[in-house]
Amino acid sequence: MRVIALSRLRECWTRLGHHGLEDLLRAWFREVEKADWNSTADLKARYASASFLSDNRVCFNLGGNKYRVIALVFYERRLVYVRFAGSHEEYDRIDADPV
């Protein structure tokens, strides 16, 4: 998959400055780049805790559910577009529907 917006992930680890967060988000980025998802079932097979939102959006729970990444996933185009990355607390403060 092609992942767009490493800059959103970078902004998150820079803003939060939590120990190990940069490594966690970079590892997620690399893993998703290597993925070949054809459907939600393929994604769910790897990320069982992922939640599917409206309009092709997926919420990934990372770091023992401490962090969330919301991304638009276009299976046919092999594209993952990061729309939000932040702590669970930050996620609770946003309206995830339009993200």
CATH number where 18 lies:
3.30.2310
pLDDT in tens, 17-42: 999 999 999 999 999 999 999 999 99
> How many domains, in total, are found in the chain?
1
Structural domain range at position 37: 2-93
Tell me, what's the pLDDT at 94? 86
pTM > 0.85: yes
Question: Minimal CA–CA distance to 70: which of 79, 41, 80?
Answer: 80
Q: Is the pLDDT of residue 99 over 80?
A: no
Contact (CB, 8 A) for 76 and 83: no
Q: Could you tell me if residue 69 is inside a domain?
A: yes
Q: Could you tell me if residue 99 is inside a domain?
A: no
Q: Could you tell me if residue 19 is inside a domain?
A: yes
- CA 26, 70, 79: angle at the middle one, nearest 5? 75
